[in-house]
Amino acid sequence: MFKANKFDIKQMGLIGASVLGLILLLMYMQGSFEHKVSPGSAKPAPLESIAKYKTAVVSNTAIDDMFAWPGTVRSRSVASIAPKIAARILEIKVNIGDKVSKGDVIARLDDRDIRAKENEALAALAGANAQANRAAADAQRISSLYKQEAATRENLDNVQAQAKTAQASVNQAQSAVNGVRTFLDDAVLRAPFSGVIVAKLKEAGDMGLIGEPVVTMQTAQDMRLEVSVPSQCATRLISGMQVTVRIDNLGSALTANIDEIAPEIDPQTRSQLIKIKLPEVKDLQPGYLGWLDQACEQHQALLIPNSAVIRVGQLESVKVVNKNEVSLRHIRTAKMFADKIEVISGLRAGETVVINP
């Protein structure tokens, strides 16, 4: 028969006491030894003196619903640089974002055919010059003989006419050379003004076609923010109206004026294009992302001072005054409007809340 010694009995007693203590602790944490109170506002406490508290009345106010419409910074001066002749593109010397000065080379086209035509035109010019020189010499010689009465007037008139015809051929050949050289100039695309490259539409090796842009560039001055605004909100905007815009790359808000409103509505997006003239700002570049802040609609909101809200973690509450009593009430808030905050649940218009010091 098993017989426990004193040490085993003592150890079992300690284990039993530990288990009992743990059970009692769990019961205490569950509130088994306390009087339970149903959920709701905390029990009102007497307000010693209403005069010692700073209070505010919950107001029902019409609030503008603010929207932010995205747009792109663009220059008023935009140029699409396209070939005037059809030729393969040998090289494009710029990339998006590059700054160029007026006259800088943008791209070069294959001009081998034009060079061949130039050589032909130069050869024709040389032949015309040689013929003109012979005709001029003949006219000079016959004129001398005519003065010596060794040639007739008819001979003189003939050689002078031949000299004029030969000179006309020279002029025509020179015009042909000039025309070919104009085509050579067209084989080099240059910047029409100083600005920034904002789009690269072709690559070296592509076929350059007449009127098809190779690159697009803009000036870095006279900037506008172009925004597509839903038509129901665009009706609130008028030309010359002052608005607030934000440029992401600058990290600041700017005051600007509406410069132009497109009269037509895009049938797919049901929006109108709004162009806003931006002030001269350092580091402002075409292509930057911007935002137009606009109040489009309104809604009724319950507002209280933000300083009336008591925050503990994610819980928000206020002290509500009712006659001579104050109670703590949980609420839910939304957006801030200056020093006030919108309450979306927990309060009614006309109630009084305590402003915390």
Percent of the chain with pLDDT over 70: 85
pLDDT for residue 45 is more than 60: no
pLDDT for residue 111 is more than 90: no
pLDDT for residue 182 is more than 90: no
Higher pLDDT, 304 or 114: 304
Question: What angle separates helix 112-147 from helix 153-186, to the nearest 10 degrees?
Answer: 160
The CATH 1.10.287 portion of the chain extends over 111-186
Query: CATH topology for 67-77+220-296?
Result: Elongation Factor Tu (Ef-tu); domain 3 (2.40.30)
Q: What confidence score (pLDDT) does residue 10 get?
A: 55
Query: Mind listing the pLDDT tens digit for each residue in 318-335?
Result: 999 887 788 899 999 988
Terminal Cα distance for the chain, rounded: 77
Maximum average pLDDT range among 8-12, 44-48, 126-130, 257-261: 257-261
The CATH 2.40.420.20 portion of the chain extends over 45-65+299-354
Q: What confidence score (pLDDT) does residue 38 get?
A: 38
- The per-residue DSSP string of 61-115 comes to EEEEEEEEEEEEEEES-EEEE--SS-EEEEEE---TT-EE-TT-EEEEE--HHHH
Please, which pLDDT band fits residue 94 given cuts at 50, 70 and 90?
very high
Query: Mind listing the pLDDT tens digit for each residue in 270-299?
Result: 899 999 999 988 888 888 899 999 888 778
pLDDT for residue 228 is more than 90: yes
Query: Mind listing the pLDDT tens digit for each residue in 10-41?
Result: 555 556 656 565 555 555 444 444 333 333 45
Please, which pLDDT band fits residue 7 given cuts at 50, 70 and 90?
very low
- The domain 111-186 having CATH identifier 1.10.287: the answer here is yes
- pTM listed for this prediction: 0.51
Maximum average pLDDT range among 35-44, 117-126, 293-302, 341-350: 341-350
**10-27 residues labelled b (16+ CB within 10 A) or e (exposed):** eeeeeeeeeeeeeeeeee
Higher pLDDT, 132 or 353: 353
CA-closest candidate to residue 200, choices 329, 295, 325, 287: 287
Could you give the CA distance from residue 229 to residue 275 in angstroms, rounded to a whole number?
Answer: 10
Higher pLDDT, 257 or 25: 257
Spatial contact of 85 and 187, defined as CB atoms under 8 Å apart:
yes
In the block, which residue shows the tokens 């489009």?
A: 296
Spatial contact of 276 and 245, defined as CB atoms under 8 Å apart:
yes
The CATH 2.40.30.170 portion of the chain extends over 67-77+220-296
**225-256 residues labelled b (16+ CB within 10 A) or e (exposed):** bbbbbbeebbeebeeeeebebbbeebeeebeb
Maximum average pLDDT range among 7-21, 180-194, 236-250: 236-250
Q: What confidence score (pLDDT) does residue 250 get?
A: 87
Percent of the chain with pLDDT over 90: 37
Q: What confidence score (pLDDT) does residue 296 get?
A: 82
Query: CATH topology for 45-65+299-354?
Result: 2.40.420
Higher pLDDT, 311 or 19: 311
